[in-house]
Amino acid sequence: MSQKPVLNKFIVVNLASKVISMSQTRLPDFVVIGAGKSGTTSLNEYLKEHPQIFMSTRKEPNFFAYEMAKEEDFDLESSKEFYRDSVLKLDDYLELFKGSKESQLLGEVSNTYLNSEMACERIKHYIPNTKLIAILRHPADRLFSRYSHYVREGLLPEDGGLDKVFDKTTSWWLRPDMITEGLYYGQLKRYYDNFPQENIRVYLYENFINDTAGVVEDIFKFLAIDPSIKVATDIVYNKSGTVKNKAVDNLVGQNSPLITTLKKVAPGLHRWMKDNVLINRWLYNLRNKNLQKADFSPSLRKEIVDKIYAEDIKKLGNLIGQDLSHWLKA
């Protein structure tokens, strides 16, 4: 196994004129960089179960995307909300791995890293030998999943209706988590230009869904840990869809009044519940049973591919060495 990345005693890190000094501390051995709405929440939970892995105690700390940023750097309120909910200081980031064993690999998942121009540079600066994992979903399906999620949670922007999807002055184009998040080629090319190709592993979402256990086993091999360890892959976390029963959603939904209130009045208890594997699996199982697949018009899907994503898909296939011709079809 390769030597674990550390910050040696009194190392001086000069990034944008920032100087950091601290005792020896470990940084991640691998990072899942995205994409959003592509199964990364599930992957985070599955990786947690391997005894040779310690995942950050918080999913999506976004440290490498937002370190040293200021709230005024962002124009959109949605971006400011991401910023406020992110880990911004190195000391706080390192705390997310407190309690790990020396024998364990450290890992974290932050979907913002894929489409963040700064994240790639900062990851290379701090952990140049780290391994990188990405799961890519068909960009039109990923976009509709994001749309469905926002509809379900009451978070859809005022100009976020499907009739506005081709209007480049709307949130569809201005928000980094909507249309532009699916333009994978340029996002991934940054990483291929800055890291050894053998340190990057890209999976397609359809393969992850159809053979979850097989993909997880391949990730274990990529990380050079015991691939024979079996983890529970039967629960899908953060599943998309429309709500069947609003009353049930008001009780156990991710943004239900009950969960939201608990997060405000008892954040410690809320965090403990999220980190408890059994409670988390029970909640997601209830949520999944209360969801049904949303209808995505095949003609709109094809139009989105043809007008927005087709050229990017062709270049992406060449970059990652995978046949993506099926992504171009209706």
Q: What ranges do the domains of the chain cover?
A: 6-236+308-328, 242-292
| Integer-rounded Cα radius of gyration of the chain | 20
Mean pLDDT (whole number) for 294-302: 89
- Tell me what pLDDT residue 269 has: 83
pTM above 0.75, yes or no: yes
* Alpha-carbon gap, residue 74 to 323, rounded angstroms: 37
Mean pLDDT (whole number) for 180-198: 98
Residue 155 three-state SS: coil
| pLDDT(134) > 60 | yes
- Tell me what pLDDT residue 7 has: 54
Burial of 264 (0-12, 13-18, 19+ CB in 10 A): exposed
- Tell me what pLDDT residue 152 has: 79
| Cβ proximity of 76 and 96 under 8 Å | no
Closest among 112, 115, 123 to 184, alpha carbons compared = 115
pLDDT band at 107 (very low <50, low <70, confident <90, very high): very high
Mean pLDDT of the chain: 87
Higher pLDDT among residues 191 and 246, named by residue: 191
pLDDT band at 3 (very low <50, low <70, confident <90, very high): low
- The number of beta carbons lying within 10 Å of the beta carbon of residue 173 is 16
Kindly report, residue by residue over 64-99, the tens digit of the pLDDT. Answer: 999 988 888 777 676 777 778 899 999 999 999 999
In CATH, the number for domain 6-236+308-328 is 3.40.50.300
Q: What percent of the chain has pLDDT over 70?
A: 88
* Alpha-carbon gap, residue 41 to 305, rounded angstroms: 25
- Tell me what pLDDT residue 63 has: 97
| pLDDT(128) > 80 | yes
CA 35 to each of CA 109, 198, 202, 282, 308: distance values in angstroms, whole numbers, following the listed order: 10, 19, 10, 25, 17
Q: Which residue has the tokens 């391994």?
A: 131
Closest among 110, 114, 108, 134 to 30, alpha carbons compared = 108
